[in-house]
């Protein structure tokens, strides 16, 4: 029972965190949308897509491994840190190498400075002390709350300041860099133990082997959530990409974040009761019911007042996004509910189930996204994400029956 008391405390802290972060995010978007247009957001979107792709393709699932590990907390810490440093350097190098290819693919010729700037983010991030994950593993969400609020506030404040003063898109990335530096310093000053650069072949192989499904899942998940951005940017241009990405943020942040809150809290709790199937099943059903009861009313309210929300947050020059947001709200509700299974499967060390259902959605999306976008524009891209999400549901139900139902 103690785990669930901790879970409820964690849920409260995570709720405060996510609500505060989204409030900060909405303030940030609201201000920036009045100083930067869809083109600027589209250019930033391309840089973000590249960074997220490379981070996803090199993700070995070390955070989940450290949470799953029930023995010596420090067993893999130095090996994880070594992998993180190498990964950060590799991602930064690849971003710089791929600049000409990225400009050619999206038919843009002014990305050089922006890409060089964003290359600093993974490089710095690679040196963060991985022991910082103990806040989450030990259910110390109060400390996680304080840290993340500070990071998001720093990011938003720097971005807004530069946007108001200089009205340049680079401010968005400078805000990211300052926040990452802040996290780096915090992790080494206040977090123990301190890892070292080391290489142990046995540990390295174990990390790679245990993380292979997480890596594959991450790649499929990235493509599932971003292939529409890539298609929109390629087929419809940077202006449309800016509209689409902000539509996605407005539609998904209030709803999808609900699933993220529960996911962050339930993963460590599910991990502690993974061997008690009956208890685990009851906990999962309760969690999913709560998520469903929360996200559907919120989605309905946002759907009914989409135009007013766009005018309030983004301003009149973003009204083209209204219909797209309405469609993406449906996607967001479906994805938030269906995505509640991921922490359960990770706790059971059955990451392959997550890979399978995400792959099924990606497979459908990859087939329909181009024709839908070609004939229906931004609305078509949004509709394709809804259809693809619906196709994942039977795969999820089958996996649940196999494991706990």
Tens of pLDDT, residues 317-349: 899 999 999 999 999 999 888 888 888 888 888
User: For 53-57, 64-68, 240-244, which range has the lowest pLDDT when averaged over its residues?
Assistant: 64-68
Q: Examine the pLDDT at 1 and tell me if it is beyond 60.
A: no
Q: Which two tokens stand for residue 207?
A: 């990390």
Q: Examine the pLDDT at 247 and tell me if it is beyond 50.
A: yes
Q: Distance between terminal CA atoms of the chain?
A: 22
Do 54 and 94 form a contact (C-beta atoms < 8 A)?
yes
Do 6 and 241 form a contact (C-beta atoms < 8 A)?
no
Q: Which of 220, 261, 240 is nearest to 382 (CA)?
A: 240
Q: Give pLDDT, residue 56.
A: 86
Q: Based on the structure, what is the number of domains in the chain?
A: 1
Identify the domain containing residue 87 by its residue range. 2-403
Q: Examine the pLDDT at 99 and tell me if it is beyond 50.
A: yes
Do 326 and 303 form a contact (C-beta atoms < 8 A)?
yes
* Residue recorded with tokens 């202006």: 239
Report d(CA 189, CA 260) in Å as an integer.
28
Q: Examine the pLDDT at 19 and tell me if it is beyond 90.
A: no
Query: For 125-140, what is the mean pLDDT?
Result: 80
* Residue recorded with tokens 């869809």: 38
Q: Give pLDDT, residue 103.
A: 93
Q: Give pLDDT, residue 8.
A: 61
Report d(CA 212, CA 202) in Å as an integer.
15
Quickly state the pLDDT bin for 162 (edges 50, 70, 90): very high
Quickly state the pLDDT bin for 100 (edges 50, 70, 90): very high
Q: Give pLDDT, residue 66.
A: 67
Q: Examine the pLDDT at 2 and tell me if it is beyond 60.
A: no
Q: Examine the pLDDT at 203 and tell me if it is beyond 80.
A: no
Quickly state the pLDDT bin for 385 (edges 50, 70, 90): very high
Quickly state the pLDDT bin for 78 (edges 50, 70, 90): confident
Mean of all residue pLDDT scores within the chain: 86
Phi-psi region of 61 (alpha: psi -120 to 50; beta: other; left: phi over 0): left
User: For 40-49, 156-165, 213-222, 228-237, which range has the lowest pLDDT when averaged over its residues?
Assistant: 213-222
Q: Examine the pLDDT at 114 and tell me if it is beyond 80.
A: yes
**Sign of dihedral through CA atoms 246, 247, 248, 253?**
positive
Q: Residues with Cβ < 8 Å from 104, sequence gap 6 or more?
A: none
Q: Give pLDDT, residue 191.
A: 87
Q: Give pLDDT, residue 69.
A: 61
**Sign of dihedral through CA atoms 317, 27, 250, 168?**
positive
- The DSSP secondary structure of 313-350, one letter per residue, reads HT-GGGGGGHHHHHHHHHHHHHHHHHTTHHHHHHHTT-
Query: For 127-153, what is the mean pLDDT?
Result: 81
**Sign of dihedral through CA atoms 205, 209, 211, 217?**
positive
Report d(CA 378, CA 376) in Å as an integer.
7
Q: Give pLDDT, residue 346.
A: 83
Q: Which two tokens stand for residue 48?
A: 């973000």
């Amino acid at each position: 029972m103690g785990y669930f008391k901790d879970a409820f405390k964690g849920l409260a802290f995570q709720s405060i965190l996510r609500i505060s972060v989204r409030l900060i995010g909405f303030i940030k978007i609201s201000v920036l949308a009045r100083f930067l247009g869809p083109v600027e957001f589209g250019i930033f979107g391309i840089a973000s897509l590249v960074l997220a792709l490379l981070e996803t393709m090199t993700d070995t699932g070390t955070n989940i491994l450290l949470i799953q590990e029930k023995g010596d907390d420090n067993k893999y810490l130095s090996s994880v840190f070594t992998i993180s440093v190498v990964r950060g350097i590799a991602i930064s190098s690849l971003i710089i190498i791929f600049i000409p290819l990225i400009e050619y693919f999206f038919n843009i010729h002014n990305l050089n400075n922006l890409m060089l700037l964003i290359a600093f983010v993974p490089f710095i991030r690679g040196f963060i002390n991985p022991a910082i994950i103990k806040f989450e593993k030990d259910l110390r969400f109060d400390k996680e709350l304080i840290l993340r609020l500070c990071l998001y506030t720093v990011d938003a404040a720097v971005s807004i300041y530069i946007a108001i003063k200089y009205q340049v898109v680079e401010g968005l990335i400078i805000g990211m860099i300052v926040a990452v530096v802040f996290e780096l310093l915090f992790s080494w000053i206040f977090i123990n133990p301190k890892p070292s650069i080391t290489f142990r072949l046995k540990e390295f192989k174990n990390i790679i082997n245990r993380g292979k499904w997480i890596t594959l899942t991450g790649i499929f998940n990235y493509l599932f959530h971003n292939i529409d951005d890539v298609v929109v940017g390629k087929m419809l241009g940077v202006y449309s990409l800016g509209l689409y990405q902000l539509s996605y943020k407005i539609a998904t942040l209030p709803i999808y974040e609900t699933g993220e809150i529960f996911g962050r809290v339930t993963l460590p709790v599910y991990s502690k009761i993974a061997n008690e199937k009956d208890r685990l099943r009851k906990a999962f059903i309760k969690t999913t019911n709560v998520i469903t009861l929360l996200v559907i009313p919120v989605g309905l309210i946002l759907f009914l007042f989409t135009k007013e929300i766009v005018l309030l947050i983004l301003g009149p020059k973003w009204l083209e996004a209204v219909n797209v947001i309405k469609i993406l709200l449906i996607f967001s509700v479906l994805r938030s509910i269906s995505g509640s299974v991921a922490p359960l499967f990770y706790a059971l060390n059955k990451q392959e189930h997550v890979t399978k259902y995400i792959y099924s959605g990606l497979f459908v999306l990859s087939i329909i996204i181009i024709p839908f976008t070609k004939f229906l524009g931004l609305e078509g891209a949004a509709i394709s994400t809804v259809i693809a999400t619906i196709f994942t549901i039977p795969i999820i139900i089958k996996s649940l029956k196999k494991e706990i139902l």
